[in-house]
Structures are given as structure tokens and as C-alpha cells.
Amino acid sequence: MAQKLSETAYIREISTYIKQATGFNINLSAADKQILKECIKKEIPLETLKELIRKEASRYPPEKRKKMNLSFLREYIKKPVKSKEETAKTVNVPQRNWQEVIYKLNIPEEVLNIKDILEDLQEIAIETKIINYLWEHLPTEEKKALQKKAIEKLKKEFILTNIEVEKVLKSIIRQLIKEKYNI
């Protein structure tokens, strides 16, 4: 944070960033604002928070991002305060070693080719490409088993009148693949 922002400006900046990161017009709850006030007290830089929010948003399937809140930051706030230099180093650490993942899963390196994608979206793009590659190369029996499991989960956990069934099924299958291959 080059200049110190007021509490209101800090909260407004994060609110705007959450809308950008999730793609939904999410209003901060009183609990979310309290968490941000704690971040301000701990002098957590705005860029660090944005990076944490971006990572958290990428973990949600797109259709569930509208339910995202800032409670995940509580664990981060509890950690001892780091110097600004240490915090800056933390933000610049690569999010994930995708080379290791594709080697472990025997996926061609071309899957990591994401030159045309914005830097903020590269992590999501790589994960999506890996999951799509795995899905395309799964045997038919495994695809059917995953689809069956996804349908069971859909029936058990969702109210079918309020959702787009096809999108939710894809999201569930995506999550099942991530769990199966530890992505």
C-alpha cells in the first residue's frame, strides 16, 4: 500500500475487488467489515488481501462465488504480524507448482500454455485446462461413475427448481475430479 488509506476507502477498495474477483455484486456483511477492520489494525497491505481474495475466489466454482464471504481471512489474521518485506515476499510466491501436478498426472506440458490469459486468471485457467484434459481422457466407465455420483450429490444437496442443473452438474464433476486427482 503506497499510501495509507482511510478505513472507509480500504473497505470500499476490497468490496470493489471482491466484485471483480467473483463476478458478482456481493455486498459486505457486518462480519466481513469487522474482519477488514481487523486487517487494517494488523496493517495487512491491501495488495496482500487482494491476492488472498483472488486465491479464495478461484477455489469456488463460478456459480458459487456469489456466496463467498471473508471468514476465510480469520485464520490469516490470527497469524503473527509479518514485516512489510516478509508480506511482500509471501504474495509473490508462486501459487502452485503446476509442473509437478502435470508430471504426476502424466499430462502433456502444452496444457500449461496460457500466454494469452491475464495474469490474474492464469491459475484458474491452468486448473481448468488440467481438469478438462483429465475429463477428456477418462475411460467411459469412470465418466459414467462420476456423472452418477454428481447426480446423487445434486439431488441430495440442491433444490432443483432454483438452479441451472447442467451448470451445477459440471461444477460438481469438476470438484470430484479435483478431489480424485488431488488438484
* pLDDT lower than 50: segments of the chain: 1-3, 83-84, 87-94
- Cβ neighbours for 154, distance < 8 A, ≥ 6 positions apart: 160, 165, 168, 169, 172
pLDDT digits (tens, 9 = 90+) for 74-126: 877 776 555 445 544 444 434 567 778 888 888 887 777 777 777 777 788 88
d(CA 56, CA 67): 12
The pLDDT assigned to 47 comes to 85
